[in-house]
Amino acid sequence: MLDAVQTLRDLIRIDTANPPGDEMRLLAVLRDILVSGGAQVALQPLAHGRRGNLVARLPGKQQGLAPLVLLSHVDVVPANPAAWTHPPFAAVVEDGYIYGRGALDTKQLTVMELSAFLALGRHTPLERDVYLVATGDEECGSALGLQSLLAGSVTLGGREIAGRTIFQDAQVISEGGGFPVLAGKRVLYLLETGQKGCGQITFHFREAGGVYLTGTGALRRACGLVQALHQTELPANDTATLQRFADVLSDAHACRPDQLQARLSPMMGNILKAMRHNTLTPTLVQGKNLQHVSVVCDVRLLPGLREAKLMETVNALAGEWGADVEVGSLTAGYESDPGDALPLLEACLRAELPPAQADVALVPFLSMGSSDGRYIKGLAAGVYGFSPVLPWDMTFEQAVRMVHGVDERIHCDSLDFGCRVLTRAVRRLAVAAEREAL
């Protein structure tokens, strides 16, 4: 049986801050644990063996069924030790909390999924293939992580398997959800079932008149555009996830949907607002001189908004203020249908909570950020963010502040709780008799 607390502490102590990453040292530790547990394991080394991915597999009896994939990433963002109560890579335990970079993003999920994967055992009759995938480079775009896995292949059980095949039509448990919110007198757990698309658009302003006539026309136009952007609303589009999210929150607060915004905390109000709106936000005005000034904008688009509709607004603004437009990376948002996975995961949550606290509901939501889920949306996979914690440990609002923040931590009891919930869920998703008994 996996000692989840000790394993998480061991993983946190392997500094995988990205850049530079150096995930392979940690992946080798996971490989040894998985091999001893009877799994087929492959490493995909990248960047001269310092970076890479790990894929483990437990084969199922029915090869035609879509696989179940447990996905996490093991790189983390850098941390400033001077700002932390405890050194960010020391994995200190104080008052039951494990402090460390990666405790919530996402080494804790790696441990929860590892525990669930190992609990299936080498003799359990699995209905379908189950994969555990631990990637690198997620924090810097995944070029040396999931993108390389999808473009390549690994050898498992003597068979070469394309990375895309692992995720094709799969059910994927990933990062982003599993945290509770307090709504009226109810505890609601969030299940991430989609993400906004994201990208960057830059407006370029050039000054006419030559090098000896450096006026401020370009800068004035750039400042005018920034003001116009704050007054511009992109076309709106409702999503099925938003409607369900708002309905559940309204019921919990015993109010009409149009009254909901006023009932929420400032952060939850911002989340609901972000789930309702597409945004084009200026983040940087820059220029080497007054002859060429640029306005860089962050773009966040709800699933279903076509790029052509965005560009209608962008081109109209560019024409009004005399700018050229440069479109950087722009990924579409996605929305997964939770289907049968939602009631199954909700039942597993309730089964592991004390009876007095088990009246919880699991609610789909769209993330404002991005993760590796964006790279597999085109493979007809259902991607569900779910790393459950105990309600008294942290709310979603508290978790958001710690991810990429200071004193990132998780309580030991929460880590064990998440392991139990995912172990129960994975057995029901992978073993026919277990699912029928639910």
Residues in the chain with pLDDT values less than 70? 122-123, 208-216, 432-438
pLDDT of residue 374: 92
d(CA 374, CA 271): 19
CA-wise closest residue to 360 among 351, 372, 373, 371? 351
d(CA 332, CA 334): 7
d(CA 146, CA 152): 10
CA-wise closest residue to 278 among 225, 201, 339? 201
d(CA 311, CA 349): 43
CB neighbour list of residue 304: distance below 8 Å, 6 or more residues apart: 237, 239, 333, 335
d(CA 190, CA 384): 10
- Domain spans, the chain: 4-182+334-437, 197-234+278-332
CB neighbour list of residue 393: distance below 8 Å, 6 or more residues apart: 410, 411, 413, 414
- The answer to whether 349 touches 360, Cβ cutoff 8 Å, is yes
User: Any bridge partners for residue 7, and if so which?
Assistant: none
DSSP 151: H
Positive/negative CA dihedral, 351, 352, 356, 362: negative
pLDDT of residue 175: 98
pLDDT of residue 6: 98
Pairing mode of beta strands 68-73, 130-135: parallel
Phi, psi (deg, nearest 5) at residue 153: -155, 165
Class of domain 4-182+334-437: alpha beta
User: Any bridge partners for residue 51, and if so which?
Assistant: 46
Judge: domain 197-234+278-332, CATH 3.40.50.720. Answer: no
What would the pLDDT profile of 68-109 be if each residue is shown by its tens digit? 999 999 999 999 999 999 999 999 999 999 999 999 999 999
d(CA 21, CA 73): 11
